[in-house]
């Protein structure tokens, strides 16, 4: 099968696309993939590193308010559609998959106009502008949260699949997670992270709560700062503690995040779609701190979905401090019965076969005749 993947700007759009591609390659040895993305987005670096063919298309995003810039964006969109059509005619894909971000707009639109079967995947509970626009033209809209289904009322077909990133973590070896931290199996772990790049507000809370962790003997705190914040955060934590603590592990990044997550008792993190997919696939209770700096406040909507199911607590960033966060953690970590209930609720929400379901749908769509 020949497949075009498109989506970009942030890891939240790129990694689901790559997960779909990986699943297709696992199921079909003769799978040929082309990734079309923005030359300035993260995908321009990440995708070639994965050994996948990459082609750029220039595009910028629409502003939500009326603006002269939107006229320029329309011109770039039309130019992007023209280039996308050339790339699609040359590659001759059986199906095109878009995972959000501005760049997938002209690519999926061009594919639909050429009669090539298309699928878009929406990771968040609150859909993005690009996917809302594309839902009128694409063959299938795959969603991660049931809450987003009503917002695709004009779509031909909406399919509840979950996030394909979940498929990557479901086989994670928790024993390796303990070993990588130098901890005995069964240790209680509170894993804190702010996404792949880190989050200043969460790092500040880590620093403030560091002197308090001694109130929870036997519990290990893993602080993942993000590489750009690591030196300053580690230095501040050392200063706050005045002496080293075996209970605190400060790391810039986790290359084996699924394994450490699988070993964790609870997680404290942002509520990006990929993180929530991993939490629910593994059944990890969480305290979610939605980023207030995202489009349409979609992380709060994501978090609310887990909170209402009893799988998580939510702490808004405006209420975040070292003390308030530690008190939440302390209350939860001491309540093993509640941890068990939250973990079960998270598993009930999990859709670990997401990538497999999407690939199955792609096969169905690829059987449709194409005009391309």
pLDDT tens across 293-345, in order? Answer: 888 899 999 999 999 999 999 999 999 999 999 999 999 999 999 999 999 99
Give the fold, CATH level 3, of 171-349: Rossmann fold (3.40.50)
Q: How far apart are CA 108 and CA 85, in angstroms?
A: 10
Mean pLDDT of 207-214: 96
pLDDT tens across 93-142, in order? Answer: 999 999 999 999 999 999 999 999 999 999 999 998 899 999 999 999 99
Q: How far apart are CA 278 and CA 283, in angstroms?
A: 8
DSSP states of 229-277: GHHHHHHHHHHHHSS--TTEEEES--TTHHHHHHH-SEEEE---HHHHH
What does the pLDDT read at residue 299? 95
- Tell me if 138 is assigned to a ligand binding site: no
**In terms of Cα–Cα distance, which of 31, 51, 35 is closest to 43?**
35
Which of the pair, 67 or 108, is modelled with greater confidence?
Answer: 108
Neighbours of 370 (CB within 10 A): 16
- Tell me if 293 is assigned to a ligand binding site: no
Q: How far apart are CA 303 and CA 272, in angstroms?
A: 8
From residue 113, give the alpha-carbon distance in Å to each of 3, 81, 255, 282, 284.
Answer: 17, 10, 40, 40, 43
- Tell me if 161 is assigned to a ligand binding site: no
What does the pLDDT read at residue 296? 82
- Tell me if 80 is assigned to a ligand binding site: no
Helix (H) / strand (E) element for 96: namely strand 95-98
pLDDT at 60 over 70: no
What does the pLDDT read at residue 171? 87
- Tell me if 10 is assigned to a ligand binding site: yes
pLDDT at 73 over 80: no
Q: How far apart are CA 9 and CA 42, in angstroms?
A: 6
Neighbours of 66 (CB within 10 A): 7
Q: pLDDT confidence of 168, banded at 50, 70, 90?
A: confident
Provide the strand spans (E) within 194-236: 219-224
What does the pLDDT read at residue 196? 74
For CA atoms 258, 260, 261, 267, the dihedral sign is: negative
220 in helix, strand or coil? Answer: strand
According to DSSP, the residues that pair with 143 across neighbouring strands are: 122, 160
Q: pLDDT confidence of 367, banded at 50, 70, 90?
A: confident
Helices 200-209 and 322-333 sit at what angle, rounded to 10 degrees? 70
Which of the pair, 11 or 23, is modelled with greater confidence?
Answer: 23
According to DSSP, the residues that pair with 122 across neighbouring strands are: 143
Q: How far apart are CA 156 and CA 209, in angstroms?
A: 50
pTM of the model: 0.88
Give span(s): CATH 3.40.50.2000, the chain.
2-167+353-366, 171-349
CATH of 2-167+353-366, one of 3.40.50.2000, 3.20.20.70, 1.10.645.10, 3.30.465.10: 3.40.50.2000
- Tell me if 11 is assigned to a ligand binding site: yes
What does the pLDDT read at residue 66? 52
pLDDT tens across 251-272, in order? Answer: 999 999 999 999 999 999 999 9
Neighbours of 317 (CB within 10 A): 17
Please report where in the chains the tokens 């309540």 appear, as a residue.
Answer: 335
Q: How far apart are CA 17 and CA 15, in angstroms?
A: 5
Q: pLDDT confidence of 34, banded at 50, 70, 90?
A: very high
Q: pLDDT confidence of 181, banded at 50, 70, 90?
A: very high
Is residue 18 within 8 Å of 34, Cβ to Cβ?
no
According to DSSP, the residues that pair with 6 across neighbouring strands are: 36, 98
């Amino acid at each position: 099968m020949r497949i075009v993947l498109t989506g970009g700007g942030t890891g939240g759009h790129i990694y689901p696309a790559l997960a779909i591609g990986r699943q297709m390659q696992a199921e079909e040895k003769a799978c040929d993939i082309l990734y079309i993305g923005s030359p300035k987005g993260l995908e321009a670096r990440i995708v070639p590193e994965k050994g996948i063919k990459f082609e750029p298309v220039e595009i910028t995003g629409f502003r939500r308010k009326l603006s002269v810039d939107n006229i320029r964006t329309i011109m770039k969109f039309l130019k992007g559609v023209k280039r996308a059509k050339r790339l699609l005619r040359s590659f001759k894909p059986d199906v095109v998959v878009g995972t959000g971000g501005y760049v997938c707009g002209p690519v999926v639109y061009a594919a639909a106009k050429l009669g090539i079967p298309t699928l878009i995947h929406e990771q968040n509970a609150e859909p993005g502008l690009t996917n809302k626009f594309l839902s009128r033209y694409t063959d299938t809209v795959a969603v991660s949260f049931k809450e987003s289904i009503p917002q695709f009322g004009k779509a031909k077909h909406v399919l509840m699949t979950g996030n394909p990133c979940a498929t990557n973590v479901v086989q994670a070896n928790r024993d390796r997670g303990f070993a990588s931290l130098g901890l005995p199996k069964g240790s209680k772990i509170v894993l804190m992270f702010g996404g792949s790049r880190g989050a200043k507000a969460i790092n500040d809370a880590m620093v403030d709560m560091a002197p308090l962790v001694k109130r929870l003997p036997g519990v290990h705190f893993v602080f993942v700062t993000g590489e750009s914040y690591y030196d300053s955060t580690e230095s501040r934590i050392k200063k706050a503690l005045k002496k080293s603590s075996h209970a605190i592990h400060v790391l810039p990044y986790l290359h084996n995040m699924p394994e450490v997550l699988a070993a964790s008792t609870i997680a404290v993190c942002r509520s990006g779609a990929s993180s929530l997919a991993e939490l629910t696939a593994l059944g990890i209770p969480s305290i979610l701190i939605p980023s207030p700096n995202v489009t349409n406040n979609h992380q709060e909507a994501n978090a609310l979905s887990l909170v209402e199911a009893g799988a998580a607590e939510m702490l808004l960033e405006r209420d975040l401090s070292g003390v308030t966060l530690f008190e939440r953690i302390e209350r939860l970590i001491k309540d093993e019965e509640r941890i068990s209930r939250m973990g079960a609720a998270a598993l009930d929400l999990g859709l670990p076969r997401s990538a497999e379901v999407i690939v199955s749908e792609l096969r169905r769509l690829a059987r449709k005749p194409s005009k391309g």
